[in-house]
Structure formats: structure tokens, C-alpha cells
Amino acid sequence: LRATVAKLRELSRPDVSAQARWGKQGRAFDIDSADEMPDKNWDVSVSYNFSFGPEAEQLSLASQRHKLKAFEERLAQKRDDIKIAVTQSLERFEFYRKNLAALRESQKLSAEVLDGQRLNFQLGKVTLLDLTRYQQDFDNASLAVVQGESRLITEWCSLLYETGLLANYLGVVPTGEKSKRASSSVQPETEEKP
């Protein structure tokens, strides 16, 4: 067992060798033999050798398995991220849909109040300032409905984008597919022989 451990240690130990050369373009290994060369340059090279042992292909297979497992984990993580993003987008869409329904009810109520106050103004029961305030409340409620519709449309497009259906929903076809469809729809006419 000790011999095996020692052998494994020896195999796992890297083999490092360094070499320094002196002389013209570093072609001489000895300083004395490089004296007559006009330019004195150092050239240093370091070699690093690492042995994978007698069964290097097994180590390579283990490395490939490790990379494959890491890829599978990243893929699973991405899948989870996509599920979370789609779920959150769907929840936001539902929230904005319910919020828009509440805003429409508020606008309807504000319109009824405004109609009642207009009648009161005609009867002289409220002032013009009060009527203006009710009109402003109705305008704010109408603006909130428009903003709610805009948020709902944006969230719907975001949900379609997250699920990869936005291009399909909008009827947009990539340029490459358009040319393929055009070429497949044009069929050569065959001449009829008598």
C-alpha cells in the first residue's frame, strides 16, 4: 500500500524543468561560448509536465462525466429560472387584470357620482368648484383605467415573450423563414404536351 501511495504521489508530482540560454538570440547554453556573439540576450524556457498515470483515458472520462454533470445542473437551474420567470409574469398579469376590473368599477362609480352632482349643480345644491372637483375625480379614474389597460397589455406581451409565443402572437415570421415560404409557394409551371 505504501509503495502504491508513493507511486501515486510521484505520478501526481509535476515535472518542472527550466533552461536559460545566453548569447545571440539565446542560442548558446554557456556564457563563455557566447562571449563572441555581438548581442547578449537571455532566453529562459520553463517546461511543465504532468503525468496522468498509466490510465489517462479513465481520468479523461471522469473529467467528461464531471463536465456533463455540471452542464446538466446548469440546464436544470436555467429550467427552474424560466419556470420562476413565467410564474411571476403570470401572477403579475393576473394582478393587473384584477386591478383593471377594480379600476373600471371605480370609474363607473365616479361617473355615477358626477352625473348626480351635475343634476345637483343644475338645482343649485352644489357650487361650480364642487362640480369641478367631481369632474377631476372622474378624469383621474378614467386615466387610471387607461394606465391599467396599458400595464395589462405590457404584462400580456411580457408573458408571451417569456413563453416564447410573442412572435407567433404578433404574426411575425423571421426573415429566413419568409424566403423559405416564398420559394416553396412558387412552383414551376409544367407545360402540357399535346
**Helix H or strand E segment including 124:** none
Tell whether 34 and 112 lie within a shared domain. no
CB atoms under 10 Å from CB of 20, counted, come to: 12
Tell whether 169 and 85 lie within a shared domain. yes
Check residue 194 and give its pLDDT: 44
* Each residue's pLDDT tens digit, 129-166: 988 999 999 999 999 999 999 999 999 988 888 888 88
Q: Do the Cβ atoms of 151 and 114 come closer than 8 Å?
A: no
User: Is the residue at 193 inside a domain?
Assistant: no
Is residue 30 very low, low, confident or very high in pLDDT (cuts 50, 70, 90)? low
Identity of the highest mean pLDDT range in 41-45, 80-84, 175-179: 80-84
**Helix H or strand E segment including 21:** strand 15-23
User: Is the residue at 71 inside a domain?
Assistant: no
User: Is the residue at 9 inside a domain?
Assistant: yes
User: Is the residue at 162 inside a domain?
Assistant: yes
Check residue 13 and give its pLDDT: 61
User: Is the residue at 62 inside a domain?
Assistant: no
Tell whether 30 and 87 lie within a shared domain. no
Domain residues for the domain of 6 are 2-49
pLDDT higher for 61 or 85? 85
Tell whether 85 and 164 lie within a shared domain. yes
Query: Cell 556564457 appears where?
Result: 31
DSSP β-bridge partners for residue 44: 20
Nearest-10 crossing angle of helices 56-123, 128-162: 160
User: Is the residue at 186 inside a domain?
Assistant: no
User: Is the residue at 59 inside a domain?
Assistant: no
| pTM: predicted TM-score of the whole model, two decimal places | 0.52
pLDDT higher for 66 or 27? 66
The count of structural domains within the chain is 2
Query: Cell 437551474 appears where?
Result: 77
User: Is the residue at 63 inside a domain?
Assistant: no
